[in-house]
Amino acid sequence: MVLTHPGAELYGSDRMAVESVRALAEAGHQVTVVLPETGPLVELLKQAGATVVFVSVPVLRKSLVSPRGLGVLVWTSARGLIRAIRLIRRLRPQAVYINTLTQPVWVVASWVSRVSSLVHVREAELGGNRHLQRVLHAPIGLVTRVVANSESTKRHVVDSTPTGLDDIRVIYNGKAWDGYYNSDLSPEAGTWTVGFVGRLSPRKGVHVLVEACHLLLERGMPLRLVIAGSVYPGYEWYEAELREAVAKAGLSGLVDFVGFVENAGAVFSGADIAVVPSLVEPFGTVAAEALASKRPVIASRVDGLQEIVTHEKTGLLVEPGNALELADAIERLVRHRTLARDLASAGFADVRDRFSLTQYARATQDVVAELRRGRPGRHG
């Protein structure tokens, strides 16, 4: 039994939910996936071998991670908990795999039902209030096993959980990378193209990239920026601010907002440089996607991105939020095409080795097998 939640579009955590289901189904498990609502994830889950059912439970959003929002959260969680317990008792699963920390109701429901559970933590932050985070992380102490998608996420879980935790397993996200590679970086370029793929939100640092491009324009450097991504409902203001910043900087003819794209590799293959300017990033699948596209990557020196990109070997790292340093890094690759090609080649080889879909599937199968054997356990 796998718990996850859908979005309007599919991003990293959604894709990994599908791959978790596929790995478990291929290992012979009968998998039922529970969603709070329908969405584009449903058909992919069915194709991966799952039966999909719907149960309405609250999904933690930033609007709820506040003193006022907690009142709503407590009320909806009480109703959702009853529904969750009823479903677990009806399905009688051997194990519950909770694909996201944003539905803590399932942690409590599994514990009450005395069913072994695993929570796969993919979110590194839910809000700025540390004490509030510790309250929201408290249910993790009830699960049988915790898996994190990076060492950075693991540290966050340990720091934010008020109860003691046993061993936390790190399973890096994986993908089938062959579809990302299109061609090598060309030896020469006239106007360089910088590519960004991801959610349009403040934590992704898109505004920092726009500012960096403005600095490069002032230096007389020919540059084109492609921004591929959409906003979560309620964040439309951020896209509006980005577009306004582009216009004020005189970049309107040089920046393309192309919206959500299904294949990040298509964007990166059409670019000369890939930039991941996130201010917070628990793993950073998009950085791995850029490496798999055989493009030089510039990423923020933050969280999980440092586990994907090795500075000066497979890419360049810059301080998060520092537009000047980001601009300098972009200019460095523009002026040193050989360096850009060398970094792209090294990153291409590294990502296919360390972040393969095969390693992800095997690790997922192993940890669920341990869960079914009841090792380690807290439910008695």
Q: What is the pLDDT of residues 269-326, one digit of tens each?
A: 999 999 999 998 888 889 999 999 999 999 999 988 999 999 999 999 999 999 999 9
3 state SS of 273: strand
CA distance 365 to 321: 38
Tokens encoding 170: 């790190």
Nearest 5°: the CA angle 164, 170, 173 is: 140
Q: Are residues 129 and 18 in the same domain?
A: yes
Distance of alpha carbon 92 from alpha carbon 79, whole angstroms: 20
Residue 379 lies in a domain: no
Q: Are 47 and 20 spatial neighbours (Cβ–Cβ below 8 Å)?
A: no
Domain span at residue 269?
178-354
Place of tokens 């360096």: 339
Question: Residues 326-368: pLDDT tens digits?
Answer: 999 999 999 999 999 999 999 999 999 899 999 999 999 999 9
Please give the model's pTM, rounded to 2 decimal places. 0.75
Same domain, 223 and 151: no
Task: Indicate which CATH number applies to the domain containing 167.
Answer: 3.40.50.2000
User: Is the confidence at residue 112, as pLDDT, over 70?
Assistant: yes
Please indicate, yes or no, whether residues 164 and 201 belong to a single structural domain of this protein: no
Give me the number of domains the chain comprises: 2
CB 84 within 8 A of CB 339: no
Nearest C-alpha neighbor of 195 from the set 261, 250, 136: 261
In this structure, are 158 and 201 located in the same domain?
no
* Peptide bond preceding 67 in cis form (omega within 30 of 0): no
Q: Is the dihedral of CA 17, 18, 24, 29 positive or negative?
A: positive
Helical segments of 181-297, H only: 206-218, 236-248, 264-269, 285-292
Confidence of residue 64 (pLDDT cuts 50, 70, 90): low
Tokens standing for residue 89: 């008792």
Pair (41, 188) in one structural domain: no
Q: 377 lies in a domain?
A: no
Same domain, 168 and 200: no
